[in-house]
Structure 1
Amino acid sequence: MLSLSNSALFPVTTSYGISRPARFPKTINLSSYNQKREPRNIFCACMAPPQNLRSDESFAAKFEGSLKSEDLTTLREPEDDSDVLIECRDVHKSFGEKHILRGVSFKIRHGEAVGIIGPSGTGKSTILKIMAGLLAPDKGEVYIRGQKRDGLISDEELSGLRIGLVFQSAALFDSLTVRENVGFLLYENSSMPEEQISKLVTDSLAAVGLKGVEDRLPSELSGGMKKRVALARSIICDTTKEAIEPEVLLYDEPTAGLDPIASTVVEDLIRSVHTEGQVASEKRGQIASYVVVTHQHSTIRRAVDRLLFLYEGKIVWQGMTDEFTTSTNPIVQQFASGNLVGPIKY
């Protein structure tokens, strides 16, 4: 079974399984992934934005002034929730006697680019996995387009939204070429001819600034190139489908381990995929929204617009990106400055 501790984009509105792709141009050994589960369908995680939802401009207008407060008790949410894609209400999660989340509540709306920040070990990756459906909360509720999620990724009754999760490392299949990695979902589940899939792979790689690497193995790529291949895999989709649901992409430390220049490339790619959509086909639409867990200030500045600060299992501050460095909250001030003196103790 493929380990979820590594990074890849998983369309987590469904369960998945690994089986030998019948149409790969060569024999592929996936035995190392320990297939013990029944193979199940994997759906492509790329879709057009929902209709009849407000534009980014109206969203910004709704939040104008409402996120200025440093006191979360007075923070106002817009009354109209028609554009809420994911909502967490009083989410708690523990592992044994260790309490990770202690009542987390927030909403992710259509068109948002949200960053979740905070010290290490405070529950950022945990809340991301709960949103994706890979973990169930001990207490509290998660709503997907207004529908309560009662289980994990097998919630097939939930419709209207796909959720993709990109973990910290690229988690490419070591025995597959870049072409086979990027086109894996299509080779496995679509009826598209190999030539068409190969063209979509080339277009997706070009969209993330990679050309001529289709026949390389992951071991022949740098860390930054692996991240971009994983991003290309996340935006490819079956263009023969008539209807594609909107998607929220969840990134867990997408620039971890990268140098500043490589980080900038990935940050700009995350932003461009959201704002410009996929350029390979007119049928492909924009990523509806995305959430980034990060520690890096460059990612905060370049890739997100609104911030949620998670500390000791609770959201202690939220605001727009330009408020981060001017906040009067002592926790935020210490985190922004990197000062050793303050409420955050190591």
Structure 2
Amino acid sequence: MPHDFETLIELRGISKSFGNNLILDGIDLNIHQGQAMAIIGPSGTGKSTILRILAGLLIPDAGEVYINGLKRKGWVDDIRDPIGIGMVFQNAALFDSLTVRENVGFSLYQHSKLPARTIQKLVDEKLEMVGLPGIGDRFPAELSGGMRKRVSFARAILPNPENPAHNPEIILYDEPTAGLDPIASTVIEDLIRDLQNNGGGCKTYVMVTHQDSTIRRTADEVIFLYQGKIKWSGDVEQTYSTDNAIVRQFFSGSVDGPIKILN
């Protein structure tokens, strides 16, 4: 699919196995500036694995990752990407013993020399942006599931004034609405789009999701991953009108079709 915007991340021939299980098999994928991409497919087909490779949290067995046209050389703790990449984990991944403010500002408290007062101001701005003003002193256990998700969003978009090059330009969402009721899901879906359109958020994101409403309301483009390969891609309207048998089976929930059911 042609794009007028620059490529932020490119995967070339990415493969990854866990033991004898081949999870990703020669994946090629371009993520463009301003893109809202959903990765869908059956469970266990490597969707979250792609996110972790994009984030630099997981090393592929084969293939290359390019960030802003530069080949990634560092991995995990040694990563030196030219742009910031934020990630929102499925379970929010907050520290129970830290306050909301300490969770959101964790990277700045640990890796910057900014005064605590400055970090607090930055954190409070982002909490307000995600619709949670005034909760910085609470602990995660005092929050609902949807509120914890929004706290993790605030953490993912927190800038670092000491190193503007690492301010997040792309967000990776792993099942952002999983486990939420329909109303809470709608709040999160609206927030994802608001952050894309707000100057203080991120205009580009890649999301793994199974939820129909999340795909319809937050994705512009969809790729379908199955058996370690991208089997189909298209815009969100095409996703629901395609005659591709794999995509149609996935959305119908039928046990009959090309997708093999794992017992």
Q: TM-score, normalised by structure 2?
A: 0.91
Alignment-derived partner of residue 149 in structure 1? 72
Separation of aligned partners in 2, 1:189 and 1:136: 23
Aligned match of 1:295 in 194, 206, 210?
210
Q: Does 1:222 align with 2:148?
A: no
Does residue 311 (structure 1) correspond to residue 226 (structure 2)? The answer is: yes
- 8 Å contact 2:196–2:204 — kept in the other structure? yes
Query: In structure 2, the residue corresponding to 1:174 is in which secondary structure?
Result: coil
Structure 1 220/243 Cα, relative in aligned 2: closer, same or farther at 3 Å? same
Superposed CA RMSD: 2.0
Where do 5+ consecutive residues of structure 1 fail to align? 1-65, 67-76, 279-285
Equivalent residue, structure 2, for 1:324: 239
Gaps of 5+ in 2: none
Give the Cα separation in 1 of the matches to 2:115 and 2:168: 25
Question: How many positions carry a matched residue from both structures?
Answer: 261
- Cα distance change, pair 293–200 in 1 and its aligned pair in 2 (3 A): same
Instruction: Quote the Cα distance in structure 2 between the aligned partners of 1:271 and 1:100.
Output: 30
Q: CA deviation at 1:111?
A: 0.9
More strand by share: 2
8 Å contact from structure 1 (residues 324, 336) kept in 2: no
Counterpart in the other structure of 1:99: 22
Aligned to 2:92: 170
Tell me, yes or no, if structure 1 residue 133 matches structure 2 residue 56. Answer: yes
**Which residue in the other structure is 1:252 paired with?**
174
- Cα displacement (A) at 1:297: 0.8
Runs of 4+ in 1 over 6 A off after TM superposition: none
Residue 331 of structure 1 and its aligned partner are, at CA, apart by 0.3
Query: Residues 1-346 of structure 1 correspond to what in structure 2 (within 5 A)?
Result: 66=1, 77=2, 83-156=6-79, 158-239=80-161, 247-278=169-200, 286-346=201-261
> Normalised by the size of structure 1, how large is the TM-score?
0.71
Instruction: Say whether the 8 Å CA contact 1:160–1:246 is kept in structure 2.
Output: no
Q: 1:112 to 1:205 in 2, by over 3 A?
A: same
Q: 1: CA distance between counterparts of 2:164 and 2:23?
A: 42
Larger radius of gyration: 1
Cα distance in 1 between the residues matched to 2:164 and 2:20: 48
**Deviation, structure 1 residue 155:** 4.8
- One-letter amino acid matched to 2:149: K
The one-letter code sitting in structure 1 at the alignment partner of 2:64 is E
Q: Which amino acid aligns with 1:317?
A: W
Q: 2:215 touches 2:236 (CA, 8 Å); kept in 1?
A: yes
Asked if structure 2 preserves the Cα contact closer than 8 Å seen for 1:104 and 1:314, the reply is yes
Displacement of 1:246: 5.5
Q: Provide Cα deviations, 1:15-65, integer angstroms capped at 9, x if missing partner.
A: xxxxxxxxxxxxxxxxxxxxxxxxxxxxxxxxxxxxxxxxxxxxxxxxxxx
